[in-house]
């Protein structure tokens, strides 16, 4: 790798350093880039030529990894290459691969990364871990009704909930894969191994080898309503959510009220207190109104396309009191159901005596549900284990 960089540096030390600096700039903005990409970028530039449009396209092809990156790239490119003064002070000196290394450390532990980063802006880099957070901090002040979730949930709650969540997760884990793997007993013959074994017995397949479908865990996507009417249950639900995500690497979590936010990354935070801090920021609008239909429609149109498939259980925790139209909710449920997932709706009110799903939203959603059950407390959730196992 050094060879290539030096070859570049022999001609002109500037461009290579600036490209490496640009990669660091992208990394700070949430792109997943390692040393390899920096090297690849330089190789790509040799191929692409020096025209600005060509450079932009070449770097775009190298640095982007998904549709979100692709959409954001041009703005980031301009911010770096067309804002001379600020950028040049940040360009990384050639021959010290420190910047790249510190950024790799940064992926796991942002605090460490800041210490090793060169230049005067080292401290600032540590804070700007991801572009997402910066934006959320900016919007946090918008809603005055924001509540601090730390008052609602304690780290102890989360520990308790983890146990419940683990049990529920296990109850759901019985879906079979469609791939077959070799096994001692199974429903299909493994011809390859059978024939291999039959060579030793003169072509008689004395020992039959078999294959079967291994068990494959289901993914859980959890959508929790945190609107005003749900505040009494928030404690149990948020703890359950945190517990589920800490125990299950494939689970996915969202909060919704008037809009929907994905909180999966925040919930994976090691330290429970920091996690609650991050969620508090994300859950801006907590305790406000609810537009279930719009939130679910947004989910069905965006995240569900990426994360929800036939092996997913979508769990919605909400009381079904929707200030939007029930048609919108029905449409969203229909779209979601078409992804082949199973949908479970847990409603805290259902436990009440004489409860009937008269809320227009709830009634609209009912035909699409695989399970509609009461759940207001952690104990209720724990009791669901059997029901979920039968899904």
Partner 1 sequence: MASASTVQDGLAGQGYVASPDLAMALHLALALGRPLLLEGAAGVGKTEVARALAAWKGCELIRLQCYEGLDAGQAIYEWNYQRQLLAIRALAEGGETGSAVEARLFSEAYLLERPLLRAIRQAVPPVLLIDEIDRADEEFEAYLLEVLADFQITIPEMGTVRAVTRPMVILTANGTRDLSDALRRRCLYAHVDYPDRATELAILEARCPQVGAALGAQIVAFVQDLRKEALEKKPGVAEMLDFAAALAGLGIADLTEDAGVLQVALATLLKTQGDRAAITTEVAQRLAGRAA
Residues that bind partner 1 (CB under 8 A): 32-34, 36-37, 40, 43-44, 47-49, 53-54, 57-58, 60-62, 64-67, 69-71, 177-180, 191-192, 195-196, 198-199, 202-203, 305-307, 309-310, 335
The nearer residue to partner 1, 59 or 276, going by C-beta atoms, is 59
In the complex, the smallest distance separating the C-beta of residue 364 from partner 1, rounded to whole angstroms, is 16
**Token couple for 38:** 């920096």
In the complex, the smallest distance separating the C-beta of residue 311 from partner 1, rounded to whole angstroms, is 9
Closest CA to 372 of 343, 333, 341, 329: 343
The nearer residue to partner 1, 48 or 343, going by C-beta atoms, is 48
With a CB cutoff of 8 Å and minimum separation 6, the contacts of 135 are none
The nearer residue to partner 1, 33 or 375, going by C-beta atoms, is 33
Q: For residue 149, which phi and psi values (nearest 5 degrees)?
A: -65, -20
The nearer residue to partner 1, 43 or 363, going by C-beta atoms, is 43
CA distance 333 to 343: 9
In the complex, the smallest distance separating the C-beta of residue 289 from partner 1, rounded to whole angstroms, is 24
CA distance 345 to 375: 9
In the complex, the smallest distance separating the C-beta of residue 390 from partner 1, rounded to whole angstroms, is 24
In the complex, the smallest distance separating the C-beta of residue 202 from partner 1, rounded to whole angstroms, is 5
In the complex, the smallest distance separating the C-beta of residue 24 from partner 1, rounded to whole angstroms, is 16
In the complex, the smallest distance separating the C-beta of residue 138 from partner 1, rounded to whole angstroms, is 27
Cβ–Cβ < 8 Å for 76, 26 = yes
The nearer residue to partner 1, 58 or 315, going by C-beta atoms, is 58
Lateral strand order in the sheet of 210-212? 181-183, 210-212, 188-189
Rounded alpha-carbon distances, angstroms, from residue 160 to 74, 166, 254, 382: 46, 10, 20, 11
The nearer residue to partner 1, 77 or 240, going by C-beta atoms, is 77
CA distance 93 to 161: 49
For residue 383, how many C-alpha atoms fall within 13 Å in the half-sphere facing its CB? 10
The nearer residue to partner 1, 288 or 331, going by C-beta atoms, is 331
Helix (H/G/I), strand (E/B), else coil: 346: strand
């Amino acid at each position: 790798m050094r060879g290539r960089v030096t070859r570049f540096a022999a001609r002109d030390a500037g461009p290579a350093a600036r490209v490496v600096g640009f990669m660091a700039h992208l990394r700070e903005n949430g792109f997943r880039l390692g040393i390899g990409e920096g090297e690849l970028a330089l190789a790509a530039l040799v191929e692409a030529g020096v025209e600005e449009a060509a450079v932009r396209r070449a770097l775009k092809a190298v640095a982007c990894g998904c549709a979100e990156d692709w959409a954001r790239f041009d703005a980031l490119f301009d911010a770096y290459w067309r804002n001379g003064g600020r950028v040049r002070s940040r360009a990384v000196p050639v021959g010290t691969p420190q910047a790249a290394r510190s950024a790799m450390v940064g992926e796991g532990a942002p605090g460490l990364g800041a210490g090793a980063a060169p230049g005067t802006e080292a401290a600032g880099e540590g804070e700007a871990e991801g572009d997402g957070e910066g934006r959320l901090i900016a919007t946090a002040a918008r809603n005055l009704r924001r509540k601090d979730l730390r008052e609602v949930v304690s780290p102890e709650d989360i520990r308790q909930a983890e146990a419940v969540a683990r049990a529920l997760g296990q109850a759901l884990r019985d879906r079979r894969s469609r791939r077959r793997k070799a096994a001692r007993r199974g429903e299909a013959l493994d011809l390859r191994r059978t024939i291999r074994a039959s060579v030793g017995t003169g072509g008689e397949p004395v020992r039959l080898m078999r294959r079967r479908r291994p068990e494959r865990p289901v993914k859980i996507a959890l959508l929790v309503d945190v609107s005003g009417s749900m505040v009494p249950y928030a404690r149990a639900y948020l703890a359950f959510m945190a517990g589920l995500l800490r125990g299950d690497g494939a689970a996915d979590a969202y909060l919704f009220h008037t809009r929907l936010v994905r909180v999966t990354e925040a919930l994976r935070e090691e330290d429970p207190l920091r996690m609650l801090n991050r969620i508090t920021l994300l859950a801006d609008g907590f305790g406000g109104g609810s537009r279930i239909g719009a939130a679910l429609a947004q989910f069905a149109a965006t995240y569900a396309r990426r994360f929800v498939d036939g092996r997913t259980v979508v769990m919605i925790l909400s009381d079904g009191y929707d200030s939007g139209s029930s048609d919108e909710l029905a449409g969203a449920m229909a779209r979601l159901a078409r992804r082949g997932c199973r949908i479970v709706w847990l409603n805290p009110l259902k436990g009440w005596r004489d409860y009937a799903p008269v809320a227009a939203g709830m009634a609209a959603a009912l035909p699409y549900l695989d399970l509609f059950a009461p759940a207001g407390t952690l104990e209720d959730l724990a009791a669901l284990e059997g029901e979920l196992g039968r899904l």
